[in-house]
Amino acid sequence: MTPATDVTGATDVTGATDVAGEVGAPAGTPIDGVLFDLDGVVYHGPDAIPGAVAGIADLHERGIPVGYVTNNATRTAEVVADHISALGIPTATAEVITSAQVLAARLSEEFGPGAPILLVGTTGLREALESEGLDIVGSLDDSPVALAQGLDPHIDYAGIVRAAEAITAGLDWWATNPDFSMVGPASRVPGNGAFVDMLARLTGRTPHIVGKPSPDVMTHAGHRLGALRPLMVGDRLDTDIEGGNRAGFDSALVLTGVHDLHDALAADPIRRPAFVLPTLADLPRVLDAAAPERADAPDSGAQAADGGVRIVDGKLQLAEAALTSPEAIESALRLAWAAIDSGERIAPGNLPRRIDD
């Protein structure tokens, strides 16, 4: 994801997104590929998040392929890979999947190589379009077949007018992501979703958005890994977890970024994670729990619920030992979600916001 992105306010722009459901695996299939969001999961700014290097190194040792999925369309995959590698996590460019790459691939599928595309965006999107053999043009006079929109921090009034005129003229409109805002040095600053929202209000139209939570970027990433049972790991319920769930993947909320356990408790069903991780260092537990030899083993989460988790007067109540157990926390959330889905109102009670290692 882009740094501390916020899609609030972009829902009306993107509309509902269908569940892809393209990836399915028989019961007992092990997790054989892991996809990561970036900011808040692998790094925060220039620094690796505690547990990230160790957790990803364990995947490398197991021979499990990894990928990094980002809505950021301004940076190229090469730049992102260099950033991750500098943290002590060796990363190949091919392991980075950007919303710009997915948008370019979809446009190539829809219109064919060489199709003229009107660009609103910067280097990351431009290079992705060019790598797919698409022809970038500068105006409606060049007869473009589609408008490709990504964040352009240097866009001016004339550029906004040009985009609005193209959309109003009926040009097929595609956008990289709906992220409404990002965290700047002193305040939140507009993300691509803010410009999408403005253009939608000006034109009365909505674009096709390929970035999270759309399953487009997830299925693209899953296919690149060649995984039968991918796991999507992220810190945001409304992009990472929803996107993974819509694509039919397992999903894990890591508690090192934006959303916490209270957010997960209140989440809509499509935004509920299958697993929660204190940090990426807890990944081995999830992989081992999903291994075929564990398929018939007693459910440790269920046992924790029996012994350490209750709902009392509409509030979750966890025994002291359960407060630091990821398995117990997962079980507590499942217990609460079942009650919520039956019409009850469940408060967090003593459910912690994070899990202390």
For 36-73, what is each residue's pLDDT tens digit?
Answer: 999 899 998 889 999 999 999 999 999 999 999 999 88
- Those residues whose C-beta lies under 8 Å from the C-beta of residue 166, and which sit 6 or more positions away, are 118, 140, 144, 147, 173
Global pTM value? 0.84
For 203-221, what is each residue's pLDDT tens digit?
Answer: 999 999 999 999 899 999 9
Q: One of 6, 12, 18, 39 is an active-site residue; which one?
A: 39
260 belongs to the catalytic site: no
Q: Taking 50 as the threshold, does the pLDDT of residue 179 lie above it?
A: yes
Q: Taking 70 as the threshold, does the pLDDT of residue 23 lie above it?
A: no
Of residues 18 and 278, more confidently modeled: 278
Section 246-274 average pLDDT: 95
Q: Taking 90 as the threshold, does the pLDDT of residue 300 lie above it?
A: no
Mean pLDDT of the chain: 87
Q: One of 6, 37, 197, 260 is an active-site residue; which one?
A: 37
Section 163-175 average pLDDT: 96
37 belongs to the catalytic site: yes
Q: Which two tokens stand for residue 200?
A: 């939608």
Of residues 184 and 296, more confidently modeled: 184
Q: How many CB atoms lie within 10 A of CB 275?
A: 24
Superfamily of domain 1-297: HAD superfamily/HAD-like (3.40.50.1000)
The domain ranges of the chain are: 1-297, 298-357
For 111-141, what is each residue's pLDDT tens digit?
Answer: 999 999 999 999 999 999 999 999 999 899 9
Looking at residue 73, its pLDDT comes to 87
Lowest-pLDDT range of 53-57, 183-187, 196-200, 336-340 = 183-187
Q: Assign residue 178 a region: left if phi > 0, alpha if psi is -120 to 50, beta otherwise?
A: alpha
pLDDT confidence band for 181 (50 / 70 / 90): confident
